[in-house]
């Protein structure tokens, strides 16, 4: 099989697979984005608080 034929087959199969994808609606995408951002901020705040507490404990020990 030649390289050109392999590439053509690959792209044809890729297009077929992309047609099978069920894309989320705009509302779902916005909701998921808000959830990801909120969780990221929440986790960052959690680790900042834990880091600060551990630093204070270590300063007391030292």
Task: Give domain limits for the chain.
Answer: 23-62
Tell me the pTM.
0.65
**Confidence at residue 6, expressed as pLDDT on a 0 to 100 scale:** 94
Cβ atoms of residues 62 and 55 within 8 Å: no
**Confidence at residue 1, expressed as pLDDT on a 0 to 100 scale:** 76
pLDDT in tens, the chain (62 residues): 799 999 999 999 999 999 999 999 999 999 999 999 999 999 999 999 999 999 999 999 98
**24 contacts: CB under 8 Å, gap ≥ 6:** 32
Of the candidates 49, 45, 51, 47, the residue with the CA atom closest to the CA atom of residue 59 = 51
């Amino acid at each position: 099989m030649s390289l050109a034929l392999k590439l053509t087959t690959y792209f044809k199969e890729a297009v077929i697979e992309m047609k099978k994808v069920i894309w989320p609606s705009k509302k779902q995408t916005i909701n998921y984005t808000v959830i990801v951002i909120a969780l990221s901020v929440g986790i960052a705040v959690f680790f900042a608080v834990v880091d600060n507490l551990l630093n204070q404990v270590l300063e007391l020990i030292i």
